[in-house]
Amino acid sequence: MSNKTENRKRTKADYRMRTHLIHGNYQSKKWDYNHHVVPPMSSSATYRLSSAQRGAQGFFEFASESTDFVKHVPIYIYDRLEEPTRGMLEENLAYAEGGEMCVTFATGMAAISAVLGMLCENGHEIVAHQILYGCTYSLVTHWLPRYGIQTKFVDLQNLEALKKAITHKTRVVYFETPVNPVLSLIDIAAVRKVVEAINQDRPPEKHIKIVVDNTFATPYCQRPIALGADFSVHSLTKDIGGFGTDMGGAVIGPQKFYSQLMLYRKDFGGVLSPKNAWNILVYGLPTLSTRMINQQKTAHKVARFLQEHPKVARMVYPGLESHPQFELAKRQMVNYEGKFSPGAMIYFVLKSGANISASERGGKFIDYVADHAYSITLAVSLGQIKTLIESPYSMTHSALPEEEKLELGMEPGGIRLALGLEDWHDLIEDLREALEQV
Ligand SMILES: *Cc1c(COP(=O)(O)O)cnc(C)c1O
């Protein structure tokens, strides 16, 4: 790269993460964009090879176990194998998450199915928290059993239950924290301790890996790998993408799994489109800190408003003292400077009224918001510049059996709010008006 790099006195580590997220890697070997301020948008399904020998070398180096080849620009062959824009995004995501490597995918679900598919084979078991993102639940209950991979569900807040669920077939402990949508927390370090003790008596190839879906928190608010997870997975569709324009997913973890994941992605084919990768690389990740700081501030204001409202029965936000795991939240959810960062998701339930049940009232409230609130949109998904509201019981978590949802504290009238970047006064006014009407 340019002399500017050589002239720099401060090393990469001297800069704060907010700056890194904007400037990316010092010297990406993925692409020489010396004269570009913004990396070029690349879109090429296939790559010209100057000789058959170069083609052969490219196939040899692709997903090689050796890291020698990381030192030069990869020999690009075909988009589904490796591609520069995606490659740059992966470098930056790995750095942001505090992992050695990252492999991106077409969606969050493609990333989750890849990490589980890579770690497990016929006869293996997954131990998962009892509440999962609806499609993840569907993946491990409908599809993975076809490959002979079974999943046991336990309450991972209960470490004794975790110990009991683990057998010699267990290869993965999987969970989200904060848990979607009820926002309870799983203590990553405590799960690590349990798994570590069991792994000590196993050969490395049978070690249990901890996989954490970090989508709700984002790396800005929580870095699971530093807390003891082996892998972090993300839906880039949410806060990392940030604008709601593109889908994507990512797996971040130890370098030694890089080639396996790349080969899995090559053969199952769920690659992230370079056009989507470019948006996330250029708009999403660089603005993550700024968006999270502001969304979080708003979440605080809105959570306090809801908590004090006479029609609200229960309000869950990890940033308020009323959260039953507030101490854990303060320990586990911190930004890059170590400051408490509880995220921008809120879950709440309305009270029943004289002639109306809590769930009916919740439904009416959401419908009123959908019809009248300019600042709040009824839609699934989260982590966008627009504030989104939804009913997890009947929408995102419809795949879970009814009795289970009730048992797990997910009531039919529960409301999930994903804060965006609007002025918080307007959000509160729109919520106040809707609460007055139901
Ligand atoms: C959205 C989401 C996913 C799935 O991601 P897609 O990009 O929609 O495939 C997985 N986990 C959580 C927690 C999510 O919110």
- The domain limits of the chain are 16-283, 289-437
The angle at the Cα of 249, spanning 270 to 124, to the nearest 5 degrees, equals 70
Would you give per-residue pLDDT tens digits along the chain (438 residues)?
A: 344 666 778 888 889 999 999 988 767 788 777 788 888 888 999 999 999 999 999 888 887 777 666 667 789 999 999 999 999 999 999 999 999 999 999 999 999 999 999 999 999 999 999 999 999 999 999 999 999 999 999 999 999 999 999 999 999 999 999 998 899 999 999 999 999 999 999 999 999 999 999 999 999 999 999 999 999 999 999 999 999 999 999 999 999 999 999 999 999 999 999 999 999 999 999 999 999 999 999 999 999 999 999 999 999 999 999 999 999 999 999 999 999 999 999 999 999 999 999 999 999 999 999 999 999 999 999 999 999 999 988 887 777 788 888 777 788 889 999 999 999 999 999 999 999 999
Is-contact 383 243, C-beta < 8 A?
no
CA separation, residue 316 to residues 27, 344, 347 (Å): 43, 11, 5
Cα 115 to Cα 231: distance, rounded to the nearest angstrom: 8
CATH of 289-437, one of 3.90.1150.10, 3.40.50.150, 3.10.180.10, 3.40.50.10860: 3.90.1150.10
- In the sheet that holds 249-253, the strands lie side by side as 101-105, 249-253, 231-235, 209-213, 170-176, 125-129, 150-154
Q: Whose CA is closest to atom 6 on ligand 1?
A: 108
The angle at the Cα of 233, spanning 281 to 18, to the nearest 5 degrees, equals 40
- Atom number, ligand 1, closest to the C-alpha of residue 236: 7
pLDDT of residue 3: 47
pTM of full prediction above 0.85: yes
What is the architecture of the domain spanning 16-283?
3-Layer(aba) Sandwich (3.40)
CA atoms within 13 A on the CB side of 347: 20
The angle at the Cα of 252, spanning 39 to 29, to the nearest 5 degrees, equals 35
Residues found in the chain? 438
- In the sheet that holds 312-316, the strands lie side by side as 312-316, 345-350, 415-418, 387-390, 376-378
Full DSSP string of 297-322: HHHHHHHHHHHH-TTEEEEE-TTSTT
The strand pair at 125-129 and 150-154 is best described as parallel
Smallest CA-to-CA distance from 111 within 232, 286, 15 is with 232
- Atom number, ligand 1, closest to the C-alpha of residue 238: 1
- Ligand 1 centre from 41 Cα, in Å? 25
Q: Whose CA is closest to atom 1 on ligand 1?
A: 235
Q: Whose CA is closest to atom 2 on ligand 1?
A: 235
Q: What is the DSSP letter of 210?
A: E
- Ligand 1 centre from 255 Cα, in Å? 24
- Atom number, ligand 1, closest to the C-alpha of residue 382: 15
214 lines ligand 1 (CB under 6 A): no
- Ligand 1 centre from 267 Cα, in Å? 22
Q: Which of 133, 137, 232, 384 to mutate to test the pocket of ligand 1 (most atoms within 8 A of CB)?
A: 133
- Atom number, ligand 1, closest to the C-alpha of residue 249: 7
176 lines ligand 1 (CB under 6 A): yes
